[in-house]
Structure 1
Amino acid sequence: MAKKEKRARKIKKKLLHKYRLVVLNEDTFEERFSFKLNRLNVFVFSTIFAFFLIAVTTIIIAFTPLREYIPGYSSTSLKQKATDLAYKTDSLQQELAINEQYLASIRKVLTGDVKTVDFNKDSIIAAAQVDASNVNLTPSKQDSLLREKVAREDKYNPLTDSGDLNVVFFAPVKGTISQAYDVKEKHYAVDIVTVKDAPVKAVAEGTVIFAGWTPDTGYVIIIEHVNNIISAYKHNASLNKEQGELVGAGEVIATVGNTGELTTGPHLHFELWSDGHPIDPTNFIDFE
């Protein structure tokens, strides 16, 4: 017991034993300043200073932007920006794919690389000869439920147009048809011979989706109308509209010419397309 008390007093004496720290000038040995301390003071000061450093570091990491420089730590704003960029990149990729498909369709229109729709005329005649009174037109239960479901969904659909869109086509030029629409010869257009530099008019209102020069057909202008209808005007002498412009029905868009390699004289090569398929313009327009 006495040894333990003696050891405790010895430890206490060491902790409370005072030391003097003196700072001297190296050249003159003049005393600059000095202060007294003991081991207990040094331990207490070191502990307080360590807690102070820990507290300051915690505050810096938690409440300042410096935490972003710590490896493996990412801020909320950077995550939000990365997410926004990912969404924008995905949207741009989708838009790029749509534009590439659109340009591929226009390229097919210019080169005439399209497929025609073949159907059996005999089947149409046979269907017309069927007596409708002998056909059961009563809708089934599944058909009635489907019609009711579609009607409910389309009732409040803002993209559904309740009215039918009717398009009236104007003649782009007046003249004589030198070569008619012929699917067998892959001539998906009508060639109208008329006076050189005669005005070429838009058959309906729409948007110019192409206006430029091609080696085979010269100055070409293509207009997109409602219901996915496209009209093309080729071999023009000059163009009055540019790509992206809106045109009205009957508005002058070009002048008749003889440009391009695939031409033998002043005329208008006129094409009409619906949903990517060529149609005979003479079924809708009177050119004479």
Structure 2
Amino acid sequence: MAKKRKKRKEIKRKLLHKYRLVILNENTFEEKISFKLSRLNVFITGSLFIVCLIAFTTLLIAFTPLREYIPGYSSTKLKKQATELTYKTDSLVTVLNYTNKYLDNIRMVLNGDVTNNKINRDSLFEQFKIDPSTIDLTPIKEDSVLRAQVALEDKYNLFERSTKNINQILFSPINGTITQEYDPNKKHYAIDIVAPSGTPVKAVADGTVIFSEWNTETGYVIILEHKDGLLSVYKHNGSLNKEQGEIVRAGEVIASVGNTGELTTGPHLHFELWSNANPANPKDYIDFK
């Protein structure tokens, strides 16, 4: 027991034994600062410093954005932002694909390219067709009465019905002489109309200018986009009055007849119509007189 007590006293003496820490001037050995320390004080002070440092680091990580720089740390806000960016990326990819297809159609219009392998849209609905033989087509009493009533009203209708072709809904771009007709066999997907240089070229319908630039082969070209997937193309112009993105009205002057481009043979308008990226005969839509 005496040895244990002696040992404890020795440990206590070492812990409480005072030491003096002195900071001297190296050149003059003048005493600048001095501290009286013990091993117990050093141990307690060091422990408190470590605890405070751990607490400060924990608070810094928990309540500041620095936690996001820790590898493997999961942030709800970052996950939400990543999800939103993923959706936006998918949307942008979809828009980009549609834009690329749209630009491909414009390229086809400018180059006069037509894909030979056309899809027969009617064949897409073959599986949904209904066999008429399986349906009872006998008219009911109400249907017969309605048919008789409509027939009677039409018989005494005093208003003259229009017999004009509904396809002829567009205005003629210029008045002139047609020198070359629409001929798909010769890959001439347009009609050429001869007119004096400077003759105003008018928009055939309301639309938006989607192209208005110079082309080496066809000179000054302007393309209008109309409703129902219809495009009107005007080539070999002498000048352009509208820029890309402008809205034009039917009959509004958009260019003037010219003789520009390598493929021109004189002052004329090379006029094309494209419906859903397929060439169309302008005479099916316009009455050129």
Match of 2:184 in 1: 183
SS at match of 2:189: coil
> How far apart, CA to CA, are the structure 2 residues paired with 1:26 and 1:282?
107
Q: Tell me what 1:17 maps to.
A: 17
Q: Structure 1 residues 138, 41: closer, same or farther in 2, change over 3 A?
A: same
1:241 is displaced (CA, Å) by 1.0
1:138 corresponds in structure 2 to 135
When the two chains are superposed, the root-mean-square deviation of aligned CA atoms in Å is: 3.5
Q: Does 1:259 align with 2:256?
A: no
Aligned ranges 1:1-288 → 2 under 5 Å: 1-23=1-23, 31-32=31-32, 34-67=34-67, 89-115=89-115, 135-136=132-133, 138=135, 168-288=169-289
Query: How far does residue 177 in structure 1 lie from its aligned partner after superposition?
Result: 1.9
Q: Deviations over 1:62-117 (max 9, x none)?
A: 33344555566687666666666655555444444333322221121122111468
Change (3 A) 1:169 1:18: same
TM-score of the pair, normalised by structure 2: 0.72
Secondary structure in 1 matching 2:57: helix
Secondary structure at the residue paired with 2:228? Answer: helix
Instruction: Judge conservation of contact 1:224–1:231 (CA < 8 Å) in 2.
Output: yes
Q: Could you tell me how far 1:225 is from its partner in structure 2? A: 0.2
Contact 1:116–1:277 under 8 Å retained in 2:
no
- Which residue identity is paired with 2:111? T
Return closer, same or farther for 1:2/1:221 CA change in 2, 3 Å cut-off. same
Amino acid at match of 1:113: D
C-alpha distance in structure 2 between counterparts of 1:237 and 1:175, whole Å: 16
CA distance in 1, matches of 2:235, 2:36: 104
How many Å separate the matches in 2 of 1:25 and 1:197? 99
CA distance in structure 1 between the partners assigned to 2:188 and 2:134 by the alignment = 41
Question: Is the CA contact 2:168–2:285 (under 8 Å) kept in the aligned structure 1?
Answer: no
Unaligned ranges ≥5, structure 1: 120-133, 140-165
Identity %: 62
Letter in 1 for 2:174: V
Q: Is the CA contact (8 Å cut-off) linking 1:167 and 1:204 kept in structure 2?
A: no
Stretch deviating more after TM superposition (71-80 or 96-105): 71-80
**3-state SS of 1:227 partner:** coil
Q: Structure 1: which amino acid aligns with 2:55?
A: A
Cα distance, 1:11–1:286 mapped onto 2, change above 3 Å: same
Indicate the SS of the match to 2:201. Answer: strand
Confirm or deny: 8 A CA contact 2:168 2:286 kept in the other structure. Answer: no
How far apart in 2 are the matches of 1:245 and 1:200?
16
Query: In the alignment, residue 182 of structure 1 is paired with which amino acid?
Result: D
Q: Specify the code of the residue in structure 1 equivalent to 2:234.
A: Y
Equivalent residue of 1:213, what SS?
Answer: strand
CA shift in 2, pair 1:239/1:20, >3 Å: closer
Range with greater deviation from structure 2 (173-182 or 36-45):
36-45
TM-score (norm 1): 0.72
Deviation at 1:53, TM superposition (A): 2.1
Instruction: Determine the C-alpha separation between the residues in 1 that align with 2:224 and 2:24.
Output: 95
AA aligned opposite 2:7: R
* Native 8 Å contact 1:25 1:31 kept in 2: yes
Q: Within 2, Cα distance between the matches of 1:136 and 1:277?
A: 36
CA, structure 1 residues 86+167, in 2 after alignment: closer, same or farther (shift >3 Å)? farther
| Residues 170 and 202 in structure 1, CA contact (< 8 A), matched pair in contact too | yes
Q: Cα deviation per residue 1:14-57 (whole Å; 9 max; x = unaligned)?
A: 32333444555556655555454433222222222221222222
Match of 2:49, as an amino acid? F
Q: Distance in 2 between matches of 1:209 and 1:21?
A: 85
- Distance change >3 Å, CA 110–CA 38, structure 1 → 2: closer
